[in-house]
Structure 1
Amino acid sequence: MTDVPPFARAPRHVRAVAYPHVLVLIDYRTGQVQCLLPKAAAHWREAARSGRLTTMPQPLAAHLIRTGALSPTREPASWDAPLSAPAPAASWGGSEHPAGVARAAGPFSATAAVALATTWSITRVGGRKRAMNRLIRALQASCSATCRPASSAEASEAVLAVRRTAWHTPVRTACLEESAAATFLLATRRLSVVWCHGIAADPVRLHAWVQTVDGDPVAEPPSTRAYTPALTIGARHQHRL
């Protein structure tokens, strides 16, 4: 086995969200997601406090370095503790979530189509491993050029315009593409929202959405509040990687 360096730290583009039963790591350069069970999560927290890998099992440390979750350093340097997330509600074997999709009423929007095309080109032109990183950089750039926060009505209009227009396109449009396109669409009007990417547990799942600067999810079901934001971009909440 390759020798493990004594010191390492988590890069800024790796975010950790801690639930009582699992620690979720998201690499926002590659989009890779890893889950550490409690014993491995305890080793991550200890390393975060000390910057040392000497107490971490070698196979775990080697895996985290190989996957980019940790980067070797010359000296010990601590990094931020994982973001704490609330324990998921007991599901007793099942839980209720909105099923299926509902078509949003309204006309096709040419500007929404341009925003969707922009999103698809960012994620599909270039190496797939860096698609998430390219999208995040584009979102940061678009949000930096805005003049004022979008109102709830303006933000909802943009999200629904993207949602309606996506029905007329042959390309996959899920929450990631929809939320990014809505953010780009508002940015063309110099309006900002907060783009969010978050995690929910039991089972572990990811979701992307937009919310107003006051923290209200836009055109989202109540179940979106079960997600803990791991990364937010826009307005005063912007977190650069």
Structure 2
Amino acid sequence: MMTDVTPFAQAARHVRAVAFPHVLVLIDYRNGHVQCLLPQAAAHWQDAARSGRLTTMPQPLAGHLIRTGALRPTQMPTPWDAPLPAPTPAASWGGAEHPAGLTQVTGPFSATAAVALATTWSITRTGRRKRAMNRLVRALWASTSTAGRPASPAEASEVVLAVRRTAWHAPVRTACLEESAAATFLLAARRLSVVWCHGIAADPVRLHAWVQTVDGDPVAEPPSTRAYTPALTIGARHQHHP
């Protein structure tokens, strides 16, 4: 029986759980923190999700999840959603490669893409560092909520590649998170709707962010992007604000 940790809790609103057969991954969209629960700990998470009770969860695990913000105490049992199921990855013993969105592209520098990238950097670097992911998610939610018609695959690809070309000249870190957000901002400024995705693949566990059309097709991405299970999608009919 637990003594030092509340007996009731629920998953924090800003946390997404993705369940692979061998690991449960918790992504905190407030601060970008990622935790991996091995099968025994994952089973305790699943049990607590069904009941809203922590009485069968080991106290050290429950205390850790509360301290890190994955769980928040409640006054009564409050069950929460089961984790998103993810497919079993092909066995690679940790050596699988998913080169999603990492191909260098050549072409002219885009001033509008540079502005979108600068906007993204400003959002993530202005304010408390621990809240950078939350600020970016909120900005994406706000920008896509005002977008108009769906972008065609050609329109979306043109913008994504322009951002990717321009990012190669950037003096600061620019990876899939910054590129996909900048492309989404630029398309929204043109009143074009797309879906921003943030997902996870396993073996080894890795994260990726990308843009897809409202029909679900990844934009300017290699086939390996489909190995990622979306944990959070923002835009079009997929609006979901943590």
TM norm structure 1: 0.96
**How many residue pairs align between the two structures?**
241
Which secondary structure does the structure 1 equivalent of 2:225 belong to?
Answer: helix
Query: Which residue is 1:139 aligned to?
Result: 140
| Structure 1 unaligned regions, length at least 5 | none
d(CA) in 2 for partners of 1:143, 1:22: 32
* Alpha-carbon distance, 1:101 to partner: 4.9
Query: Which residue is 1:198 aligned to?
Result: 199
* Cα distance change on mapping 1:225 and 1:99 into 2, 3 Å: closer
d(CA) in 2 for partners of 1:179, 1:100: 9
* Alpha-carbon distance, 1:15 to partner: 0.4
* Cα distance change on mapping 1:159 and 1:46 into 2, 3 Å: same
d(CA) in 2 for partners of 1:30, 1:83: 20
- Root-mean-square deviation (CA, aligned residues, Å) is 1.6
* Alpha-carbon distance, 1:105 to partner: 2.4
Query: Which residue is 1:80 aligned to?
Result: 81
Query: Which residue is 2:65 aligned to?
Result: 64
d(CA) in 2 for partners of 1:93, 1:61: 28
* Alpha-carbon distance, 1:45 to partner: 0.5
CA contact (8 A) 2:93 2:203 kept: no
Query: Which residue is 1:153 aligned to?
Result: 154
Query: Which residue is 1:37 aligned to?
Result: 38
Paired letter, 1:33: V
* Alpha-carbon distance, 1:2 to partner: 7.5
1:229 equivalent to 2:224? Answer no
* Cα distance change on mapping 1:87 and 1:55 into 2, 3 Å: same
* Alpha-carbon distance, 1:104 to partner: 1.5
Pairing of 1:160-171 with structure 2 (within 5 A): 160-171=161-172
d(CA) in 1 for partners of 2:133, 2:149: 26
d(CA) in 1 for partners of 2:102, 2:199: 20
* Alpha-carbon distance, 1:87 to partner: 0.6
Instruction: Note the alpha carbon deviations across 1:174-206, whole angstroms, 9 max, x for none.
Output: 000000000001011000110000000000000
d(CA) in 1 for partners of 2:78, 2:99: 44
Q: Equivalent pairs: percent with the same residue?
A: 85
Query: Which residue is 1:211 aligned to?
Result: 212
Does 211-220 or 164-173 show the bigger shift?
Answer: 164-173
* Alpha-carbon distance, 1:98 to partner: 3.7
* Alpha-carbon distance, 1:169 to partner: 1.8
* Cα distance change on mapping 1:129 and 1:44 into 2, 3 Å: same
Instruction: Note the alpha carbon deviations across 1:51-78, whole angstroms, 9 max, x for none.
Output: 0010100000000000000000001010
d(CA) in 2 for partners of 1:34, 1:102: 28
Which secondary structure does the structure 1 equivalent of 2:77 belong to?
Answer: coil
* Cα distance change on mapping 1:100 and 1:116 into 2, 3 Å: closer
TM norm structure 2: 0.96
* Alpha-carbon distance, 1:103 to partner: 3.0
d(CA) in 1 for partners of 2:100, 2:139: 31
Query: Which residue is 1:20 aligned to?
Result: 21
Instruction: Note the alpha carbon deviations across 1:88-118, whole angstroms, 9 max, x for none.
Output: 0122663344499543222111110000000
d(CA) in 1 for partners of 2:143, 2:49: 33
| Structure 2 unaligned regions, length at least 5 | none
* Cα distance change on mapping 1:100 and 1:80 into 2, 3 Å: closer
